[in-house]
């Protein structure tokens, strides 16, 4: 294997000169630079970038932790992260936690041994044991949350997200403006701050309109297709059935539409459905889905830019950066029947 020593010998310069050329070519005189370039080309020498980065104290590696790489919304967020990472010369390692069922021991060892320059957490639990690691003051790379801090402990980290409560309130108010008075809410995990924020927005809108919330109208959809299908089947058997359902993500909304149509009912003629996220499938659903749009790619880009600034030791501004949401009205919502 060709070494830097071989390149220096062929170019007729010192090893230090070759190293300076590799790190700061502008600091090498043109005549010497040409000799080193020719020697590298003739020998086929490839510098050990990883080793060089470790010596500098940088790996140019970012770890992105996601609950599941199969979630469509996160694909768009990742596009934004990758775009900025490529621009800033960072590589991305994606860690799928499989909805937080994995053992994080090896992951934590990697992080605390500084094998990554920074961490992005995408709506997932932290890979750290707080009392033993983070809160004890052990040094870890900069961390930025992309989207929600799913637990209160994670609120210590900077984040980029929408205002979930305001967005959910607006979605519910829209259903109310159509004339709906019986509105159900399909949520995810009750211990998730994401779910709590969206449920709070739903409750606030219902309270403002002086509309009741029946216990059976709070549906456990688990943010999944199968969970939403089960909850929708139960909903359809209620004697006092809601005329609209606000789902905390688009996947649950799509599952709800499927079950309603399977039962021989129509959306929105019999039941209106509204989702959250505006994933790419929403527009081509039958009917196209009314939903709250999050600027997913922008969230990813802003998160990565904030992390880069933190890695460079620069100020990143306020702890939470809030980006605007948008209610996208399509054909899955209409005034209630009758």
Distance, CA of 299 to CA of 162 (rounded, Å)? 9
pLDDT in tens, 234-254: 999 999 999 999 999 999 999
- Does residue 258 share a domain with residue 171? yes
**Which one is predicted more confidently, 85 or 52?**
85
Distance, CA of 273 to CA of 253 (rounded, Å)? 6
pTM for this prediction: 0.78
pLDDT in tens, 160-187: 999 999 999 999 999 999 999 999 999 9
Mean pLDDT, residues 274-293: 96
Rg of the chain's alpha carbons, rounded to an integer?
A: 26
Q: What is the CATH number of the domain that holds 145?
A: 3.40.50.2300
CB under 8 Å to 262, separation ≥6 — which residues?
none
Tell me the residue range of the domain where 22 lies.
4-47
Q: Are 65 and 122 in contact (CB under 8 A)?
A: yes
Rounded-to-10 torsion of CA 75, 80, 84, 89: 10
- Does residue 25 share a domain with residue 41? yes
Closest-CA residue to 164 (of 188, 148, 187): 148
Tell me the pLDDT band of 106, cut-offs 50, 70 and 90: low
Looking at the chain, the number of H-run helices and the number of E-run strands are 11, 12
- Does residue 260 share a domain with residue 157? no
- Does residue 248 share a domain with residue 169? yes
pLDDT on residue 180: 98
How far is residue 287 from each of residues 30, 100, 246, measured CA to CA in Å?
65, 33, 15
- Does residue 307 share a domain with residue 234? no
Q: Are 261 and 236 in contact (CB under 8 A)?
A: no
How far is residue 179 from each of residues 89, 157, 170, 203, 336, measured CA to CA in Å?
52, 41, 15, 17, 6
202 sits in which H/E element: helix 193-208
Mean pLDDT, residues 109-132: 68
pLDDT in tens, 186-209: 998 777 788 899 999 999 999 999
Q: Among positive and negative, which fits the CA dihedral 312, 315, 318, 321?
A: negative
Distance, CA of 168 to CA of 96 (rounded, Å)? 27
- Does residue 245 share a domain with residue 172? yes
Number of domains comprising the chain: 3
Residue with tokens 């900069």, as numbered in its chain:
142
Asked whether the predicted pLDDT for residue 135 surpasses 60, the reply is no
- Does residue 277 share a domain with residue 176? yes
Chain mean pLDDT for the chain: 86
Q: Are 267 and 247 in contact (CB under 8 A)?
A: no
């Amino acid at each position: 294997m060709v070494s830097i020593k071989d390149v220096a010998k062929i170019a007729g310069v010192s090893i230090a000169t070759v190293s300076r050329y590799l790190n700061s070519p502008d600091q090498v005189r043109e005549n010497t630079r040409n000799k080193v370039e020719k020697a590298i080309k003739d020998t086929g020498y490839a510098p050990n970038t990883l080793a060089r980065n470790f010596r500098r104290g940088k790996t140019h590696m970012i770890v992105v932790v996601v609950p599941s790489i199969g979630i469509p919304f996160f694909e768009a967020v990742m596009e934004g992260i990758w775009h900025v990472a490529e621009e800033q010369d960072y590589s991305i390692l994606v860690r799928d936690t499989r909805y937080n069922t994995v053992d994080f021991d090896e992951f934590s060892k990697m992080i605390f041994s500084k094998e990554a320059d920074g961490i992005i957490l995408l709506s997932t639990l932290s890979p750290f044991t707080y009392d033993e690691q983070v809160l004890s003051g052990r040094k870890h790379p900069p961390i930025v949350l992309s989207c929600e801090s799913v637990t209160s402990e994670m609120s210590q980290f900077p984040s980029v997200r929408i205002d979930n409560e305001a967005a959910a309130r607006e979605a519910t108010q829209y259903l109310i403006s159509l004339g709906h008075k019986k509105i159900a809410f399909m949520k995810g995990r009750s211990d998730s701050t994401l779910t709590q924020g969206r449920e709070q927005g739903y409750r606030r809108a219902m309270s403002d309109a002086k509309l009741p919330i029946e216990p059976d109208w709070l549906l456990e959809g688990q943010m999944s297709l199968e969970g939403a299908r089960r909850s929708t089947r139960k909903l359809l058997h209620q004697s006092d059935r809601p005329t609209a359902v606000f789902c905390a993500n688009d996947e649950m909304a799509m599952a709800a539409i499927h079950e309603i149509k399977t039962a021989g009912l129509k959306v929105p003629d019999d039941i209106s459905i509204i989702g959250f996220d505006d994933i790419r499938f929403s527009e081509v659903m039958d009917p196209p889905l009314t939903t709250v749009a999050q600027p997913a790619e922008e969230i990813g880009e802003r998160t990565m830019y904030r992390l880069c600034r933190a890695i460079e030791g620069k100020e990143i501004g306020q702890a939470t950066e809030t980006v605007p949401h948008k209610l996208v009205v399509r054909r899955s919502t209409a005034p209630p029947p009758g």
